[in-house]
Amino acid sequence: MRDLPDFLASGERARLIPVVADTSKEGRATSILLSTIMSVDDFAKSLLHGIGQRLGARAKIECYTQVVFKKCPADLKIRPDGFLILSIGRRTWSALFEAKIGKTSLDQDQIVKYCELAKLNGVDAVITLSNQLAALPTHHPIKLTKTLARGIDLYHWSWMYVLTQATLLLQDDEFRSAEQRYLLSEMVRYFTHASAGVATFDRMNPEWKDLVVKVQSGAALNKTAPEVENSVAAWHQEERDLCLLMSRKLGRQVTLTLSRAHRNDQVRRLKDDCELLVGSQKLLCILDVPDAAAVITVCADIGRRTVACAMHLAAPKDRKGSKSRINWLLRQLNESNPDNIFIKAIWPGRARDTLAALADLRENPRHLDADNASLVPQHFEVIMVRDLAGKFSGPRTFVEQLESAVPDYYEQVGQHLRAWIPPPPKIVETKPEQTEAGATQSDEPQTQP
């Protein structure tokens, strides 16, 4: 690695084994992360691809810690935790890093200063790291006006997101470099130790209990009230934590399904979900598991104090009868524990949906029939409902129960379901054409007598 870039007054090269003060957990964590990014190609590609940087064979990455820029006004008084330079041919891209560890949250004033420092020195982006979660790297836990962040790309990685990307890579059999695998596994070993300060989202916001009490008492909710906005913001973090949790359990990248509007505008997403909460007393999220039969819809119903997971499947159209369509689904759930599992049948036209417990349907599939015996179900929903009762209002117990329910649903239901696929068409055998006299006309020319 070359000497410090000309625009840096001081800084240290990122080290896998940094020499820092015992109290500097953030400095140590940042140095280990940046050193691993420099050393493990696939890890660097995984993280940087998420913020729009594609790395080819010619890409070079240099990382530094505790950097001081020559262009730094005295009144800023800041020293970024890290600095990354990506070089691809003649093109360069760079980013400042600000890290928080443990329960320490990002500070808005500090982020604004980093953006100012980046603009002054021609740095392209500011990347923050903390235990705060965001749906996408482009969604930031700190709200900055467009004026303050203009000209600078602001990204956020949670430490658990970083750890999950590394864990997924280590589970990939095609990771061929033994040396890079070892380095990445050592980084994972460090960040999974309790002393590292990396944590999952383990509790809802302090106003959560007040929100549940208000809903239970029938009090009106205000979409801009702190208990509503903060609960939705906490739910957004929990959505992300569910994705990371399921990703680690399945060894595949589980993602959130968001509308394009919500992907591009997290403020609108927050506003829309607050309106949904006030109107329906529910919090919703949709998880996309690779190769699963359908997405998983997760619903926290505050009014009923329940958590429900559901998958929606089209009924097989090659089964003509209602019973045969229902049995098609029941056979897929032969190995499932039927406790708290229900199946909904969705019928054509104005016919009402029907719902029955899986245990009852195993005894008699007719429990799901519609009033009109001539109808056949068009779609099914397989639902698992957990009644949390008093545990629902506990900020910590709610998250614990939710993060138990979703993997349980996938184990009992999601991994067994297969979407119906129409069978391939068959060649239609055509009958030979008959002559008027009833004789068969052959493709061969006829011999005239």
Q: What is the pLDDT of residue 173?
A: 74
Instruction: Give a yes or no: residue 1 inside a domain.
Output: no
Sequence-ordered strand ranges (E) for 259-327:
282-288, 296-301, 306-314
Instruction: Give a yes or no: residue 15 inside a domain.
Output: yes
Rounded to the nearest 5°, which phi and psi values hold at 271?
-65, -45
Contact criterion met (CB below 8 Å) for 37 and 191: no
Do 225 and 345 share a domain, yes or no? yes
Instruction: Give a yes or no: residue 2 inside a domain.
Output: no
Structural tokens at position 113: 């200063």
d(CA 152, CA 164): 27
Q: What is the pLDDT of residue 37?
A: 97
Q: What angle do CA 358, 360, 361 make, to 5 degrees?
A: 65
Do 275 and 316 share a domain, yes or no? yes
Do 92 and 226 share a domain, yes or no? no
Instruction: Give a yes or no: residue 426 inside a domain.
Output: no
The single residue listed with the structure tokens 């998958």 is 311
Identify the CA nearest to 130 among candidates 149, 148, 155, 153.
155
Q: How many residues appear in the chain?
A: 449
HSE on the CB side for 79, CA within 13 Å? 11
Do 179 and 275 share a domain, yes or no? no
Do 43 and 160 share a domain, yes or no? yes
The single residue listed with the structure tokens 């959130």 is 256
Do 368 and 403 share a domain, yes or no? yes
Rounded to the nearest 5°, which phi and psi values hold at 167?
-65, -40
Do 158 and 110 share a domain, yes or no? yes
Do 407 and 347 share a domain, yes or no? yes
Q: What is the pLDDT of residue 174?
A: 73
d(CA 92, CA 428): 61
Rounded to the nearest 5°, which phi and psi values hold at 156?
-140, 130
Do 177 and 213 share a domain, yes or no? no
Instruction: Give a yes or no: residue 243 inside a domain.
Output: yes
Contact criterion met (CB below 8 Å) for 211 and 231: yes
Parent domain of 386: 208-414
d(CA 288, CA 255): 5
Do 223 and 290 share a domain, yes or no? yes
Strand, coil or helix: 407: helix
Scanning 153-265, the segments in alpha helix (DSSP H) are: 159-170, 178-191, 208-217, 226-250, 260-264
DSSP lists the bridge partners of residue 255 as 288
Instruction: Give a yes or no: residue 105 inside a domain.
Output: yes
Do 155 and 223 share a domain, yes or no? no
Q: What angle do CA 246, 183, 17 make, to 5 degrees?
A: 115
Residue type present at position 33: L
Instruction: Give a yes or no: residue 379 inside a domain.
Output: yes
Structural tokens at position 129: 């790291």
Do 327 and 386 share a domain, yes or no? yes
Contact criterion met (CB below 8 Å) for 23 and 85: no
Give 344: exposed, middle or buried? Use CB within 10 Å, 0-12, 13-18, 19+: middle
Q: What is the pLDDT of residue 417?
A: 97
> Containing H/E element for 324?
helix 322-332
d(CA 177, CA 311): 39
d(CA 310, CA 409): 8
Scanning 306-447, the segments in alpha helix (DSSP H) are: 322-332, 358-363, 395-409
Q: What is the pLDDT along the chain (449 residues), one digit of tens a residue?
A: 457 788 888 888 999 988 777 678 899 999 999 999 999 999 999 999 999 998 888 899 999 998 999 888 877 778 899 999 999 888 999 999 999 999 999 999 999 999 999 999 999 999 999 999 999 999 999 887 777 777 899 999 999 999 999 999 998 877 778 899 999 999 999 999 998 999 999 999 999 999 999 999 999 999 999 999 999 999 999 999 999 999 999 999 999 999 999 998 998 999 999 999 999 999 999 999 999 999 999 999 999 999 999 999 999 999 989 999 999 999 999 999 999 999 999 999 999 999 999 999 999 999 999 989 899 999 999 999 999 999 999 999 999 999 999 999 999 999 999 999 988 988 988 776 654 555 545 455 554 44
HSE on the CB side for 375, CA within 13 Å? 19
How many domains would you assign to the chain?
Answer: 2
HSE on the CB side for 160, CA within 13 Å? 23
Lateral strand order in the sheet of 282-288? 255-256, 282-288, 296-301, 306-314, 379-387, 341-346, 354-357
Contact criterion met (CB below 8 Å) for 307 and 317: no
Contact criterion met (CB below 8 Å) for 67 and 94: no
Instruction: Give a yes or no: residue 422 inside a domain.
Output: no
